[in-house]
Structure 1
């Protein structure tokens, strides 16, 4: 049974303890929730990792950190989480990631209204359920989030200013400015992010190297490579390739990376969280995506800003003969990418 949501709604919890890109694609929903309930406080349940960026989004009042492996593991951990949620006395919880422990926690906390998917065995724990399968990939991930929140009377049409509510500390801005000045001088720069955390099919490292070689030859922009400390092995082929780039791996936390991307002319990356972070910062992007419904740009591409770009294979191996999905990213040539970059930046 679905409960009719009655106003006033004064305290709202959004739940999506997920990866960076997934979380950033919920911000259009946060924006529209704020529009629908301008006097309400909005909290966000997330992981410690994504809290680094969400704490700078001014429409969010409080962050609840979720630790499913230790602190909130097993029933005792869920009970502890439910007590925290109960202390906030939320009127409405919107579960953008359907997970049993989270559904149980808001239920145990006595949250008046909770919205979630109707297609889970634990969906009875939600007071309001949306019967829509995301597995059919009919909408962009950000649109799926908006459609779920629409059950609370929130507009499902994304606002053009969804990403305009970031505010970063002056200390962070100054630190990043000093680093970029020391490594790039006054030259404009492009950020290349060759990793993806295995979230999709990657463009080959050899192609990234050849692209940097083409950019070096053109000479209009310096190149910086970003990534985590654990991705340092990705740079092995780059180190002996005789190309000019600045190694920025492991030098920035998420907050600092956001400020860095805001200063870049362009980001070139696989389908990954930092690509969506660049979009949120208003930076031009060019992302690599396979032609496959569950991984392609229609579901996971740059969202919410004009003039964002993606590029897909023109030919390649199929996932299986029946699907026709193109996942051979090597068929995207460095020359084709270089020419697209020239078009974007002209």
Structure 2
């Protein structure tokens, strides 16, 4: 692929991923592009569900927040999106999604240079289609995103996923947990027992209960359980037998409130999920439980303790386990408990 490192773009649009975890793992691209083009205007194009994560990001000038319609409204929606892209007069577009539609929008939106991975019948829509890495399943997704920038002469950097929170947001989170009985000097541990995509990514609820009981033997420890609206009943059942020092916030927070609360945690226990990546991007020590997915590709990037038993059928990437769920059965309560304690009390190396 011919390099275009000679260009000096004045207006850049970056199509961010749709899923929370992928979105967070793509944030180093914003830092790297800003570092390489300090005078450019950078627009982050994001689905409406995740765009709020960039509200205080210093590396971008604008958030292009959109929703994707379906059915009868789909054609009008696509036309409106392409017209808005045309109005931006972008001379460089970077696609961190692999969909045909996103490349079609950039093509019809008259973005001058269009960079993205080829495939999905979209290569002809890109001025610079990049061949997917040969080690795609053997390298972290953060690196895969960064490799797209090589055509611009930007080498793979050491920048980590990151998120920015305003001081008032953190103070609001502190006030919320204080109202729930968390006092200065107490230890707050975040727990995320759910995961988007399917139950195959989730450890057993009863084992989360057992770990929670063991952690709460320390009277200074408070647990805060996170989850989206779909996981409300699951987390309610987990918290039912736990004492008041287990705080259930499932379905009660916005994405930015979730991030602000996670930032207060001394450790974070989670399945492979978006909140896991939020914790990692905020520098919170993570204990991540993996079964059906691959921690080499989507594990915590900056820091984190991964428990993955690597049974013969894992990673299978299935939504539900078709056999006996051996990958998660092999993860024992005591091991998870000890890993959380180590994350809490180990000194940074």
TM over 0.5: yes
Counterpart secondary structure, 2:110: coil
What is the SS of the residue equivalent to 2:97? coil
SS in 1 for 2:59: coil
* Structure 1: stretches of 5+ with no match in the other structure: 321-325
Answering whether residue 326 of structure 2 is matched by residue 286 of structure 1, we say: no
Contact 2:4 2:151 (8 Å CA) reproduced: no
Tell me by how many angstroms 1:39 deviates.
1.2
Instruction: Sort the Cα spacing of 1:135 and 1:157 in 2 relative to 1 into closer, same or farther, 3 A.
Output: closer
Once residues 229 and 113 of structure 2 are traced to their aligned partners in structure 1, the CA distance between those partners, rounded to angstroms, is 42
Structure 1: distance between partners of 2:295 and 2:315: 17
* Residues 37-94 of structure 1 deviation map (CA, whole Å, 9 limit, x = unaligned): 1111211111111111111222121111232225995343222211111111111101
Deviation at residue 34 of structure 1 after TM alignment: 1.1
TM-score, length basis structure 1: 0.88
- 1:16 Cα offset (Å): 2.3
Separation in 1 of the partners of 2:307 and 2:205?
A: 16
Output the CA distance in 2 between the equivalents of 1:284 and 1:12: 34
* Matched residue, 2:338: 339
SS of match in other structure, 1:224: strand
Q: Does 1:302 align with 2:300?
A: yes
Distance change in 2, residues 1:76/1:138 (3 Å): same
User: RMSD across aligned C-alpha pairs, in angstroms?
Assistant: 2.5
Q: What is the 5 A alignment of 1:203-282?
A: 203-243=203-243, 244-282=245-283
Partners of 1:264 and 1:145 lie apart in 2 by 28
Change in 2 beyond 3 A, CA 1:46/1:248: same
Q: For residues 127 and 316 of structure 1, do their structure 2 counterparts lie closer, same or farther at Cα, with a shift above 3 Å needed?
A: closer
For residues 315 and 304 of structure 2, what CA distance do their matches in structure 1 show?
A: 27
Are the equivalent residues in 1 in contact too, given 2:310–2:327 (CA < 8 A)?
no
CA distance in 2, matches of 1:96, 1:83: 20
**d(CA) in 2 for partners of 1:134, 1:76:** 38
d(CA) in 2 for partners of 1:93 and 1:235? 41
| Corresponding residue for residue 319 of structure 2 | none
Task: Find the counterpart in structure 2 of residue 178 from structure 1.
Answer: 175
* Structure 1: distance between partners of 2:98 and 2:256: 27
Q: Deviations over 1:205-241 (max 9, x none)?
A: 1110010011012434111111123311103432443
Mind listing any 5+ residue stretches in structure 2 that lack a counterpart?
A: 317-324
**Corresponding residue for residue 312 of structure 1:** 308
How many residue pairs end up in the alignment? 333
Which residue of the partner structure matches residue 6 of structure 1?
Answer: 6
